[in-house]
Structure 1
Amino acid sequence: MRKVLIVDDNENLRRLISLTLQGADYELHEADSGDAALQRVSALTPDIVLLDVMMPGSADGYEVCRQIKSNDDLRHAKVIILSARGQKADLDAGREAGADHYLIKPFSPVELLQLLKTYD
């Protein structure tokens, strides 16, 4: 069973993603900020991190992604950024941070499921 960490400050979006992934073969975990994500990711060593960019606290999604990808114990994790920020500069920032994929909100739950299946 693959571990998925859902990181977003919007509780409703975390719930929607959880409902979307429910029934698939995933162990779901949540964090509501970049700082919480950094704490959870070290303890969980997730296989997939679904990561918002704009969150409260000292670490935004790009910083969380950079820290995951620079850690030998975590860099295997696939990081998918889910953000309302969809300008070229935002996509470039995600790529530079090491994100494996970037989905622009609002995204299709079906699209998310299909993307996750490519990581199985």
Structure 2
Amino acid sequence: MTMKKILLADDEMALRYLITETLAEEGYEITEAEDGGEAQKLLELEQYDLVILDYMMPEKTGVEVCEWLRAGCGPNRDLPVIILTAKALEKDKEKAKAAGVTRYIVKPFSPLQLIEVVKQLLAA
């Protein structure tokens, strides 16, 4: 079985570290990006199985990255995309859904909750 590759983009280093450690322990290969611009570059270069994006990041928001991804024709176009966010408003959720986000997780969340969602999406 090949290792599933996940792209994680979040400008918060501590949270990125926590998520990377949590998912790596589950056997996933994690590539980290510090902002939306870096996430886009990585998505153009590599193929992933899943993308986890923070909503609010420098360069491009997670929603903008997702919009860009869905509009493109690259190999990552139809990947499941998880948005992590402190923005719990309905309008933000709607915006994310319109951009093609698969799952919307509101911070603070438990690492176990994230693992569950990742497993569900990769099994789908």
User: TM-score band (shorter)?
Assistant: over 0.9
1:1-120 paired onto structure 2 within 5 Å = 1-57=3-59, 59-72=60-73, 73-118=75-120, 119-120=122-123
Q: TM-score, normalised by structure 2?
A: 0.91
Residue type of the alignment partner of 2:41: Q
Gaps of 5+ in 2: none
Gaps of 5+ in 1: none
TM-score, structure 1 normalization: 0.94
Contact 1:47–1:76 (8 Å) recurs in 2? no
Write out per-residue CA displacement over residues 1-48 of structure 1, whole angstroms, 9 at most, x where no aligned residue.
111011000000000101111222311100001000000111122111
Seq. identity, %: 38
Divergent runs of 4+, >6 A? none
> How far is the alpha carbon of 1:76 from its aligned partner?
2.4
CA deviation profile, 1:46-71 (whole Å, cap 9, x unmatched)? 111110111112x2111100111222
